[in-house]
Amino acid sequence: MSVITLTQIAEALGVHRTSAMRRADREGWQFAEETAPGRSVRSYTLEALPRDVQKALQKSALETAVNQVSTAASTTAVFTPTGEALPPVKPAAPVVPFCPADLTTRQRENENARSTLLGEISRLQASARCSQEAAITALLTNARSGLLPAHLVGTLRLARDPRGRKTEHDDGLPSPRCLKRWLSKSVKGESLAPAVVQADMSVKPWHGLAIALMQRPQGSIKRWVVAQIAEQWTPAMGDTPPSYDQVCRFFREKFSKIDVLVGRHTGMDLKNHRRYTIRSRVGLMPAMECHADGWCTHFTASHPVSGEFVTYELWTAIDYATGYPADPAIGLSESYEVIAKCLENYIRVFGVPLIFQTDSTGSVKNERFEFDPISSLQERLGITIVHPKMLEVGKGNSQANGLAENLHAFYDRESKELGTYQGKSMDTLTYKRVQRLTKAMVRAGTPEAREKARKEAEKAGKGPIFDSHKQASDWIKGMAERRRDMPNRNLPKVSDPETGKQRHMTPREALAAHVADGWEPVALSEADIIDAFRPHVRKTVTRGGVSPYSGQRYQHEELEHWNGTLAPADEQAILDVLYDLLDQAIDGV
């Protein structure tokens, strides 16, 4: 398809011819105008058209060619006068236009070499005033006798299709028949690029069944899949079911390696096989981005009130630019208070962050932390809270919070030295023995009995046992302190002042470098921090009083002025009541 008309373009795009002409005028498509009886016709070349139009023309021509082939194959057989059936006529190969951008590098090299040879043949014809046959014979004879320049001999060898059959005395040059065929294609305006051998990517009737059998959560072996296909085979699917080699070849060469895992893996398990994007810290300053996440300890320690050995919930806020972890907030479960304390610890070091990233947890996605346009922690601090995109299965996306996940892995490694640590691969009997001894510590009636039970637990667990909540809290904060002085491979390299060797900076050194470069935090005073993280609630004033917490009633004569409605909205008055849970007193209205 060397010359393309507007009608062909309109049919390929599925629009009216006038719409195609308007687009051509608007985008300035190059065309040649030919005069026809009573009108002028625009003709375009495929290379001059936009990419989407080229693809549409290719698709349209391919569909037309396939329909023609299907029609030819479905026609009735032709019989001779004696009643013998003639062999069916093999339909011509469909001619589908292609774009130069679709060619491989090897195809372009072959095409350019063939164009050069055709130009050389035309030059020989003109200079010697000979026939095309004589020019071809002279070109090949000179190449074999060494009279042709070396670059033309190389062009002859490059122009030859590498798929051709090679004889015993093959010299690598194309045959006269090949050169004549290329000349014929050039006259017809067809491409000189050689075809590319491609695998048969057509969809077979058994492909869908094979894929469904492979995409099972239990996992499937190929021989079982082949047996199931043979068992469920129907005449409509073909003559014979595929062999084991055919099924293996289909999944090995023609099916996506990631799609074959769909069904076998879901959620984060499937995401672990997909590509991921590594975020860069280039250009980031401290407090621009803060990542926070929670970790349920893999060890037990004393409850702050009852003394029972329980797991803790640690929330740590990490500065993304430096990798510096603030002091962890320690709680018994994930809650608003623990996450708010985590953010408070970060602000005491880095000031107010620009972005605060957490998981999509209900402890953050609520009125108190994020949603209330007036009293939420987000609005009062002026920060932006973001959450990683949820997966389709509704679960979290831990890969988007890798900074915190790496810190939790460090916490887990450090916790293995404790006697109450319980990992997935550990002996459960040992853990139960330690658990029984820690319960004996709690129930001990005397300090001597408690100390005896603690030593037995340390002996059974092969590690220290925390004697109090404060001791456990100090040890946890010590983990974060050690992390700040560990080289981080995501930070630039520096020369170690003690050894003189190159190593990565530590988070503490990275923070000090930013401070030395002039960075200053958006710091809050102690009074502002206390005010910001004191619980804020919005309550309705009724009869000069409010009930901000657990039904407790607070009254003040000044609140009587806020009873009733607010003009002009004529709605119930709602005030921000700031209260401190420690002194149980109204702080302001």
Structure tokens at 177: 């028949």
Instruction: Determine the structural domain holding residue 119 and report its residue range.
Output: 103-188
193 falls within a domain: no
Q: Pick the closest to residue 178 from 188, 186, 168, 169 (CA basis).
A: 186
The reply to whether 151 and 67 lie within a common domain is no
The last residue of one of the domains, among 264, 281, 311, is 264
The reply to whether 159 and 115 lie within a common domain is yes
Provide the pLDDT for residue 506: 95
Instruction: For residues 170 and 443, give the distance between their C-alpha atoms in angstroms, rounded to a whole number.
Output: 95
Burial group, residue 155, by CB count within 10 angstroms (0-12, 13-18, 19+): buried
Instruction: For residues 470 and 450, give the distance between their C-alpha atoms in angstroms, rounded to a whole number.
Output: 17
328 falls within a domain: yes
The reply to whether 146 and 14 lie within a common domain is no
Residue where the block lists tokens 């300053």: 285
- Residues 47 and 3 sit within 8 Å (Cβ to Cβ): no
Residue type, 349: V
DSSP state of 237: G
Instruction: For residues 508 and 280, give the distance between their C-alpha atoms in angstroms, rounded to a whole number.
Output: 19
Peptide bond into 568 cis (omega under 30): yes
pTM given for the model: 0.61
Residue type, 503: R
The reply to whether 145 and 220 lie within a common domain is no
Tell me the angle at which helices 132-145 and 150-159 cross, rounded to the nearest 10 degrees.
110
525 falls within a domain: no
Instruction: For residues 193 and 174, give the distance between their C-alpha atoms in angstroms, rounded to a whole number.
Output: 14
212 falls within a domain: yes
Provide the pLDDT for residue 573: 41
What's the CATH number where 337 sits? 3.30.420.10
Structure tokens at 441: 């510590």
Q: Pick the closest to residue 578 from 569, 589, 567 (CA basis).
A: 589
Q: Pick the closest to residue 400 from 263, 257, 274 (CA basis).
A: 274
113 falls within a domain: yes
Provide the pLDDT for residue 576: 52
| DSSP helix/strand/coil, 461 | helix
The reply to whether 172 and 133 lie within a common domain is yes
Provide the pLDDT for residue 67: 52
Question: If you compute the radius of gyration of the chain from its CA atoms, what whole number of angstroms results?
Answer: 39
Query: How far lies 197's CA from each of 107, 110, 123, 164, 306, in Å?
Result: 12, 15, 33, 12, 76
Provide the pLDDT for residue 69: 39
| Helical H segments across 16-104, by residue range | 17-27, 51-74
Instruction: For residues 555 and 61, give the distance between their C-alpha atoms in angstroms, rounded to a whole number.
Output: 84
What's the CATH number where 23 sits? 1.10.10.10
The reply to whether 342 and 414 lie within a common domain is yes
The reply to whether 476 and 551 lie within a common domain is no
Provide the pLDDT for residue 99: 62
551 falls within a domain: yes
Q: Pick the closest to residue 515 from 368, 385, 349 (CA basis).
A: 349
The reply to whether 305 and 394 lie within a common domain is yes
- Beta-sheet pairing, 384-386 with 355-357: parallel
The reply to whether 238 and 379 lie within a common domain is no
How many separate helices (H) and strands (E) can be counted in the chain? 19, 19
Structure tokens at 137: 């014979």
- Residues 377 and 404 sit within 8 Å (Cβ to Cβ): no
Instruction: For residues 146 and 336, give the distance between their C-alpha atoms in angstroms, rounded to a whole number.
Output: 87
How many structural domains does the chain have?
5
- Residues 433 and 456 sit within 8 Å (Cβ to Cβ): no
Residue type, 572: Q
Residue type, 355: I
The reply to whether 108 and 245 lie within a common domain is no
284 falls within a domain: no
The reply to whether 145 and 223 lie within a common domain is no
CB atoms within 10 A of CB 269: 11
User: How does pLDDT run along the chain (589 residues), one tens digit per residue?
Assistant: 567 888 888 888 888 888 888 898 888 888 888 776 767 788 888 888 888 888 888 777 766 654 543 444 344 444 444 555 544 444 444 444 556 666 788 888 888 999 999 998 998 888 877 888 888 988 888 888 888 888 888 899 888 877 766 666 677 888 889 899 999 988 888 888 887 767 777 888 899 899 999 989 888 899 999 999 999 998 888 889 999 999 999 999 888 888 888 888 887 788 888 887 777 788 899 999 999 999 999 999 999 999 999 999 999 999 999 999 999 999 999 999 999 999 999 999 999 999 999 988 899 999 889 988 878 899 989 999 998 775 444 445 556 678 888 999 999 999 999 999 988 888 888 889 999 999 999 898 898 999 999 999 999 989 999 999 999 999 999 999 999 999 999 899 999 888 889 999 999 999 999 999 999 999 999 999 988 888 777 778 888 888 777 778 888 887 788 875 332 333 344 445 544 433 444 443 3
43 falls within a domain: yes
Instruction: For residues 378 and 106, give the distance between their C-alpha atoms in angstroms, rounded to a whole number.
Output: 59
The reply to whether 162 and 243 lie within a common domain is no
List, in sequence order, every residue forming a beta bridge with 571; answer none if it has no partner. Answer: 566
